[in-house]
Chain A
Amino acid sequence: MISFHEVVKKNEGAILSAWIEEMVKGVRRADLMTDTELKQQARELLGLFAKAAESSSEAESEAFLQTREFLREIAKSRMDQGFTPTETARFVLSLKQPIFHALRDALKGNPSDLVNEVWASGNLLDRLALFTVDSAVEFRDQVIGRQQEEMLELSTPVVKLWDGVLALPLIGTLDSARTQVVMESLLSAIVETNSQIAIIDITGVPTVDTLVAQHLIKTITAARLMGADCFLSGIRPAIAQTIVHLGIDLVDVQTKAKLSDAFAMALSRMGKVVVARKPAAGMALGSKAKDN
């Protein structure tokens, strides 16, 4: 009995050229990859495949370790190049036809062996193709995870506006994970700077839904428990409408349209007023708050 790895080994050259021909006709994306690169990948993969198939027909086995690593590399580089996971999988799957053809020629007189070997090699290639899909998903998850972390770090600047007044300008969408970070950094900044007033500015938050509103209310409630007042500013007219339509209760929250309005309120709450500098008093500082 002849098994498929022997057929592949014997006809490696023919299979490779038939495979490349097949890909040039169908699967190839000339806009993303050159012919040379494609041929190089095909040759290397077929070589690894033929070698590994000699000792095993299980895609998860030790023998296919090198093949799997090569496919991981391909999945990653192709994703960077702009291939979809399907296209990468089809690159592997398109190897089926030339191998099947070679098997058909080699096992002409023995239909039952032919079916067995077609099944074994087909199954193996399916597994390897799925492996490229898994790798692509894994890479994408890594990218998403890294971006999320970067976003969390970037997105929570707590700034001091005045002695005792903090501002937290929020930009971007608020989800649970991010809200927790935002909440914690605001509350610890309140303690560190001994600030009685914190202004959360949501000018840069695209939408406010029930969940976001809940998160904001929780943050504001927690700040109150610690003894600080929290104002909400930067509420655009569209968001004000959404808040009312959704029936979100902001009764206990002090809101202002603009950050500057909230800041003015904060100063007056602390008993400070902003006065214009008298033209004569050259030495006095600019519009500076003065103790009442």
Chain B
Amino acid sequence: MASRSEVHPIAGAADVVKVRQVARSWALELKLSLVDQTKLVTAASELARNTLDHGHGGTMRVEQVENGLRRGIKLTFEDKGPGIPDIAMALRDGYTTSGGLGLGLSGSRRLVNEFDIKSEVGRGTIVAITRWK
């Protein structure tokens, strides 16, 4: 039950910054607490960078979602990159293919209430996160 949604491209480093600003303004609009805002924006930043670095770019859709009385923000990151062969492995702390810290996926999962990942090798990856108010 999305009341409205927007789609933003993630094609370059500047878009990662843009994604953070979009996530922040939606979180502000929903009046999330400062800590929850920060968690959502940080998770968005991690996932946008994944989309850019591993998925060779893609999009982020942002929407406001409802579940009974609760409202939340759902961010969906989609790319048409190489995909992830072993999701369980990719979700482990410290697992990295890029020489980073390996906290992008596993860490952002801890920052949100709902985390959903679908990936197909050769087709791309979709990561959806939701933070409830």
Contacts and interface: CB of A to CB of B under 8 A. Distances in A.
Interface of A: 180, 184
A190 B123 CA distance: 49
3 contacts: A180-B35, A184-B33, A184-B35
A149 B21 CA distance: 32
Contacts of B33: 184
Interface string B101-130: 000000000000000000000000000000
A184 B36 CA distance: 11
A8 B7 CA distance: 61
Interface residues on B, range: under 10
Nearest to A184: B35
Nearest to A187: B35
Nearest to B35: A184
A184 B39 CA distance: 13
Interface string B31-49: 0010100000000000000
B4 to A, nearest CB: 29
Chain A contact residues: helix, strand, loop or mixed: helix
Nearest to B34: A184
A247 B48 CA distance: 37
Contacts of A184: 33, 35
Contacts, number: 3
A180 B35 CA distance: 9
B57 to A, nearest CB: 32
Nearest to B33: A184
Contacts of B35: 180, 184
B31 to A, nearest CB: 16
Interface string B17-33: 00000000000000001
B132 to A, nearest CB: 12
A184 B37 CA distance: 13
A180 B110 CA distance: 14
A184 B33 CA distance: 11
A184 B35 CA distance: 8
3 A-B pairs closest in CB distance? A184-B35, A180-B35, A184-B33
Contacts of A180: 35
A111 B35 CA distance: 68
A202 to B, nearest CB: 22
Interface in B46-91: none
B1 to A, nearest CB: 22
Nearest to A188: B34
B29 to A, nearest CB: 21
A180 B34 CA distance: 12
A184 B34 CA distance: 10
A248 B33 CA distance: 31
B93 to A, nearest CB: 14
A65 B33 CA distance: 39
A2 B35 CA distance: 65
A184 B38 CA distance: 13
A180 B111 CA distance: 13
A181 to B, nearest CB: 10
A180 B33 CA distance: 11
A223 to B, nearest CB: 14
A134 to B, nearest CB: 15
A158 to B, nearest CB: 16
A186 B123 CA distance: 47
